[in-house]
Structure 1
Amino acid sequence: MYLIRERIFDLGNDFDITDESGERVYHVDGKVLTLRDRLVIEDTAGREVAAVHRQLVALRRTYTIEIGGEKAAEVRKKLFTPFREKFTIDVPGPEDLEMKGDLLDHEYSIERDGVELASVSKKWFRVRDTYAVKIAEGVDHLLILASVLALDLAQSRAEKERAERGD
């Protein structure tokens, strides 16, 4: 299980992703004030292992995930999802993932063909402004964590745009 502080992107600061005992697993360099809303995920030795950035030309909010310098997935909001927000994690090939549930409140699952691969929840951990990401064995942990961060970036950008419009 991994722990991430909620609303970290409002500050635009760097932060750590820890395990459930509080040990740092990854460091995230948050460059959310840049034009492309870019995050760099580093291992404990400070090496870049993944990056998340917003695509500027996409018709809908889309974030690209790179792992090891290679494009690993795109995270984008699904069109026409009444009553709930859903995001797709589009990976190469037919094995796409879906994020669904209460995305705004960090209570959701990540599934492939109806099988839960990961769940995100604030209920598991009582530390204020923290949510947990629990990932099944055999699943690419870095892809899941980067996808969760991409969703947070998308939501933060949407909130900022609503505030600018006065919604």
Structure 2
Amino acid sequence: MATFQIKEKMFSLGGKFTITDQTGLPCYHVEGSLFPLPKTFKVFDEEEHLISQIEKKVLSFLPKFNVTLANGNHFTIKKDFSFLKSHYTIEDLDMEVKGNFWDMDFQLLKDNQVIANISQQWFRMTSTYQVEVYNETYNDLTISLVIAIDYVKELEKNASN
């Protein structure tokens, strides 16, 4: 099992932040594009190898992201239309995500087995997430998923202000 903490920097141009392990050591870092069209995030490991690229589709009514992992796998995260609470569809991935996206408390499942738990830590100045991945082969995928969903939440928060 691997445990990560994702904590965004409050005043970061483009969205740069570090992801640490359970001991506080950096294990990933994220660099967001400075300009919003198209908004992209690149995730690197501690040795500066590209792990994934996350790109927001420009002409989409609801937020939609294409995620390409370094191993060549790719998937799409799409926010679905819903009045009561947030719901996301993960296309091209033999997994499902269940839980409360608005509160950022959800699970990643494969064949009804929990692969990862993601929960937001409240009472912090910035978005901070605790990510527990039970099968470490899904570390990169899970980190990329959380970054994309958090960006959608950030867009919604900015739109409501």
| Percent identical | 18
TM-score, scaled to structure 2 = 0.81
- Report the alpha carbon displacement of residue 34 of structure 1 after superposing the two structures with TM: 2.7
Residue in structure 2 matched with residue 107 of structure 1 by the alignment: 105
Against the structure 1 CA distance between its residues 69 and 38, is the aligned structure 2 distance closer, same or farther, given a 3 Å change threshold? farther
Find the aligned partners of 1:13 and 1:77 in 2 and give their Cα distance. 21
Against the structure 1 CA distance between its residues 137 and 71, is the aligned structure 2 distance closer, same or farther, given a 3 Å change threshold? closer
- Report the alpha carbon displacement of residue 55 of structure 1 after superposing the two structures with TM: 0.5
Against the structure 1 CA distance between its residues 156 and 104, is the aligned structure 2 distance closer, same or farther, given a 3 Å change threshold? same
Pairing 1:62–2:64 present: yes
- Report the alpha carbon displacement of residue 106 of structure 1 after superposing the two structures with TM: 2.5
Find the aligned partners of 1:58 and 1:96 in 2 and give their Cα distance. 23
Pairing 1:74–2:76 present: yes
SS in 2 for 1:21: coil
SS in 1 for 2:141: helix
Find the aligned partners of 1:100 and 1:23 in 2 and give their Cα distance. 28
- Report the alpha carbon displacement of residue 10 of structure 1 after superposing the two structures with TM: 6.7
- Report the alpha carbon displacement of residue 76 of structure 1 after superposing the two structures with TM: 0.9
Find the aligned partners of 1:2 and 1:126 in 2 and give their Cα distance. 18
Find the aligned partners of 2:96 and 2:145 in 1 and give their Cα distance. 10
Pairing 1:49–2:51 present: yes
Give unpaired runs (5+ residues) of structure 2: none
- Report the alpha carbon displacement of residue 158 of structure 1 after superposing the two structures with TM: 2.0
Against the structure 1 CA distance between its residues 64 and 99, is the aligned structure 2 distance closer, same or farther, given a 3 Å change threshold? farther
SS in 2 for 1:42: strand
Give unpaired runs (5+ residues) of structure 1: none
Q: Structure 1 stretch 140-149 or stretch 65-74: which is displaced more?
A: 65-74
